[in-house]
Amino acid sequence: MKRSERLVAMTNYLLDHPQELVSLPHFSKTYDAAKSSISEDLGIINQMFQQEGIGYLQTVSGAAGGVKYIPKASTSYSQLFVQGLCERLEDPERLLPGGYLFMSDLLGEPGTVKDIGRLFASAFTDKEVDVVMTVATKGIPLAYAVANYLNVPVVIARRDPKVTEGSTVSINYVSGSTRKIQTMVLTKRSLTEGANVLIIDDFMKAGGTINGMRNLLTEFNANVAGIGVLAEAEDEEEDRVVNDYLSLVQIMNVDDRSRQIVVKPGNLLNELTS
Amino acid sequence: MKRSERLVAMTNYLLDHPQELVSLPHFSKTYDAAKSSISEDLGIINQMFQQEGIGYLQTVSGAAGGVKYIPKASTSYSQLFVQGLCERLEDPERLLPGGYLFMSDLLGEPGTVKDIGRLFASAFTDKEVDVVMTVATKGIPLAYAVANYLNVPVVIARRDPKVTEGSTVSINYVSGSTRKIQTMVLTKRSLTEGANVLIIDDFMKAGGTINGMRNLLTEFNANVAGIGVLAEAEDEEEDRVVNDYLSLVQIMNVDDRSRQIVVKPGNLLNELTS
């Protein structure tokens, strides 16, 4: 196989297997090329991935070594994306009764969801994450997008048990905004003890739901590796019960009467650019 | 930029923008290369995409022309994947009370979900699809995986309206298996009139839920472009209300007592290999 052909095949393979250690002999055998040629190829791919702002190749040396594609959004791309998201969210057409914002259209765009996943994965790439967790319904696509780039499975907590889930563990928690007691369940066989769990959700006000997931993880003796929310909103009535989170955007001010919305970048950008 | 570098960048760009028409001048400008060189590059990429079994580049000629990456899983890969899925589903550990099968672990694997999306997208690539629709909860990751490869948005019907959805249209339908009357709602601004909708779900028994989605689409004056389900199960009690669907696997026989499960490839494979 010619170098030009090999580069296309290897680029596809690496993009399709993020965070996975691939040995040089694997490439060497698959594409019938000398290790030295493969090394050169990987050098070119690494350089171009960085130039395109999609991440880099990490080299792991030693007998069990190889390369790993680490997805990482570039600072300039992240800033551009978050800025664009803020502008789209400030559209007064999004205003719903009670000061809520309509976001389902954005969350329905696979490209946007993929980019959100890329940014969260970039921010949490140094943490040890075994699994991504969310609660039904709107966090699900985001959780998968993040898990895709981190190459880990997803578990989904629900508000109600279903027969197709098998045995579940259930907790009660207080919704921060409405002060209502709610239930959250997670399938028993979905988490192993001691797992490091990245919590992802679409929206956070007081943080009651996120806190519920945290309590659920305690029941499984699992650890919180990180918390990421797409949008956080100010909550006047009550103190936030969750503090150690990263948000993509902050909904600062939603004025029902003047139909004005102010949306600012969240603290995730600081994390990525620091 | 050297050809080798350009090939890495262009491969990444095309994989990240499936079903999107990219003009030759776009590439020519972005990578500062002559159109003839770009044409040669695209020839190499097309050949390798086919060799790797991930699809091909479609050339659209004329002034508004360019190339489009059409994801299409190869026959051999599709057969291998479906066969592997059948074997995994036949594990007696999956048996749940009532003859249900536990599948949440499979649906939690981003790689598996991506492959399922690739297969459905391959099967429906010739249909005109404007949007993918599913109903919460388990169909959601599958719907996004398919939509990703088709480059169209996702809309999600729910069992209960939520304030963050805005105005909704609601219908009642009869669940085929349990004969219970259930409700399904869809946000009013999520679908435009005349949209061609691909319905995706994880599981179908009698087809009541799929039929509910079909009825919901009638309310929006939208068309059903196709129906895809991951697993179909035999239902003895009643005739199926949905017939024109593609399934990835067929759960033929679930014997609670002898703890035996028989899972066979569904009709999607025939569609892909015909």
Q: Please tell me whether residues B125 and B19 are part of one structural domain.
A: no
pTM for the full model?
A: 0.96
Cβ distance of B102 and A164 shorter than 8 Å: yes
Cβ distance of B45 and A105 shorter than 8 Å: no
Residue B178 has pLDDT above 80, yes or no: no
Q: Please tell me whether residues A67 and A89 are part of one structural domain.
A: no
A154 interaction partners in chain B (CB closer than 8 Å):
108, 110, 141
Q: Please tell me whether residues B54 and B81 are part of one structural domain.
A: no
Q: At what angle are helices A3-16 and B35-52 packed, to 10 degrees?
A: 60
Q: Please tell me whether residues B97 and B153 are part of one structural domain.
A: yes
**pLDDT 10s digits, B54-83:** 999 999 998 888 999 999 999 999 999 999
* B102 close contact with A: CB closer than 8 A: yes
Q: Which residue of A has its CA nearest to B157?
A: A137
Which among B11, B47, B102 has CB closest to A11? B11
pLDDT of residue B160: 85
Q: Please tell me whether residues A190 and A171 are part of one structural domain.
A: yes
Strands A95-96 and A100-101, by their bridges, are antiparallel
Which CATH number covers residue B64? 1.10.10.10
Q: Please tell me whether residues A41 and A123 are part of one structural domain.
A: no
**pLDDT 10s digits, A12-25:** 999 999 999 999 99
Q: Could you give the ipTM of this predicted complex? A: 0.95
Q: Please tell me whether residues A63 and A79 are part of one structural domain.
A: no
CA–CA separation, A45 and A49 (whole Å) = 6
Q: Please tell me whether residues A162 and A194 are part of one structural domain.
A: yes
**pLDDT 10s digits, B102-148:** 999 999 999 999 999 999 999 999 999 999 999 999 999 999 999 99
Domain that includes residue B84, residue range: 75-273
Q: Please tell me whether residues B67 and B93 are part of one structural domain.
A: no
Residue A237 has pLDDT above 60, yes or no: no
B164 interaction partners in chain A (CB closer than 8 Å):
96, 100-104, 138, 203
CA–CA separation, B67 and B81 (whole Å) = 28
Cβ distance of A105 and B189 shorter than 8 Å: yes
| CB proximity list for B103: less than 8 A, separation 6 or greater | A164, B89, B94, B138, B202, B203, B230, B231
Which CATH number covers residue B230? 3.40.50.2020
Cβ distance of B7 and A12 shorter than 8 Å: no
Rg of chain B over Cα atoms, rounded to whole angstroms, equals 21
- Mark which residues 47-76 of B lie under 8 Å from A by CB: 47-49, 51-52, 54
Q: Please tell me whether residues A99 and A169 are part of one structural domain.
A: yes
If you count them, how many residues does chain B have? Answer: 274
* B167 close contact with A: CB closer than 8 A: no
